[in-house]
Structure 1
């Protein structure tokens, strides 16, 4: 089994429910989206990555870490079930998948993966998707990038209502492209409090500390 890989590295997990956890990162090459605010545009094109075998990938992972994050690009464009199975079997680590939610994972993958971080795209990404998560149980949490709090939060609230999502599974974070990230975070918090929304606001920790 071979995969197209953009990069493999170790860092803290900077987002979501496992924020701050040391992790291996496997960034798969290839994405079917072109989000305006994407900070990994170098992973968009599959053949700009490197073709690697399972053994090649596993050899570059730190076996002492508690977590491996598989991201992209869009990792579900490739058949990652064997990769996840190998990590679980050989490294005994938890596996987190970061995905746009536009591709439903197969049943076997859902059984293997510990955490699905699903990032539905709002209109601020340059897209308008008709997501349907009403009967979907596999997402662990939903993570939304907020560019304009006054506009985007209304869209998030409608998305949550329409898909009958538990608000406790919703995480908001500011657009990472801004010059003053702390100010953007503060503005987002202010808007959430003003609108009386029950969603969590979390930073991208790696941006605050200047880490990868």
Structure 2
């Protein structure tokens, strides 16, 4: 039997607050199988982004551990966690985080080159992905020449470029208008389905959450998985 794509065991996170310790997350238990989609829902300040950072190994828990694609992240140092994520994990951020000096095409090519893909293959794959998200006419444009929706579509193409096994998205439509955001989400789920990628979304949007196969609600540091 294959291991789950994502699993947490007694996950907790506390931070210093003056002379005291503030509990952000406590006793979080979660298991997600390959190809599943999960939305993490909660009010602002409930710890959603903190949980996402722990699940992706960008931060370490105070107690418990995360198993990401079969590896216990608690047994790896920072460089080893980065190496484990490199060809397996994709990210979509609310703020896009594109490189301003690179074209849309080069923003998508870059992670492929870093993963060791030849330039010719990287260019072909990036071109195909950008055309798939409707940006075939914007390949040479830099981020400042693109609208917010177009930038997020470049970010989606970049996130899927290395064909990740799991993708984390933190409020991926937070900076977009309703119509553009809906189009981005349609593309996100289409790519998710076509590539069989496990999807973990942080959102405050109940309609978006309902599109995922599972919903996890975060409140008072506790996670309730439906």
Give TM-score scaled by structure 2 length.
0.31
Which protein shows a greater Rg? 2
Higher strand proportion: 2
Structure of higher RCO (CA pairs closer than 8 Å, 6+ residues apart): 2
